[in-house]
Amino acid sequence: MTPRLFAVSLGFGALALAASQVQAQPANCGPRAQVLAEIALRHGESRRAVGLASIDAVVEIFASETTGSWTITLTLPTGLTCMLAAGAAYESLIPIPGTTSGTGA
């Protein structure tokens, strides 16, 4: 294989990878109201915690005590909300008196 053909092949590979990543983003992101409705309707989750990230984005944790499912979202100042992570086996921790966390540490 010539160096030029190798470079062209590498370039097409990079374009294909970039295109697949761009197409994957809309599945995890959308207008805030739409994403929150999906979390509530599809997973039965409600908001359990909220915080402000250093980039002026809102980070929220949603969970369902019934199913144990949970979702972490990030909402940008533009209103775009993305689901960052999701999983199972959610449980609420009750802080132990005299500690700053629910672990007793």
- Of 86, 34, 44, 27, the closest CA to residue 61 belongs to 86
Residue 72 contacts residue 61 (beta carbons within 8 Å): yes
Q: How confident is the model at residue 6 (pLDDT cuts 50, 70, 90)?
A: very low
Judge whether 102 and 93 are in contact, CB under 8 Å. Answer: yes
Q: Which of 26-35, 39-48, 61-70 has the lowest mean pLDDT?
A: 26-35
Stronger pLDDT, 24 or 27, i.e. the higher one:
27
pLDDT digits 0-9 by tens, 43-58: 999 999 999 998 999 9
H helical segments located in the chain: 3-28, 32-43
What is the reported pTM? Answer: 0.67
Tell me the C-alpha distance between 87 and 82, whole Å.
15
Q: Nearest-CA neighbor of 38 among 9, 3, 69, 77?
A: 69
Least confident span in 22-26, 52-56, 82-86, 93-97? 22-26
Average pLDDT over all residues of the chain: 79
User: Strands of 80-87's sheet, edge to edge?
Assistant: 29-31, 80-87, 70-75, 58-63, 46-52
CB–CB of 62/39 below 8 Å? yes
Q: What is the mean pLDDT of residues 67-80?
A: 96
Percent of all residues in the chain with a pLDDT value above 70, rounded to a whole number: 70
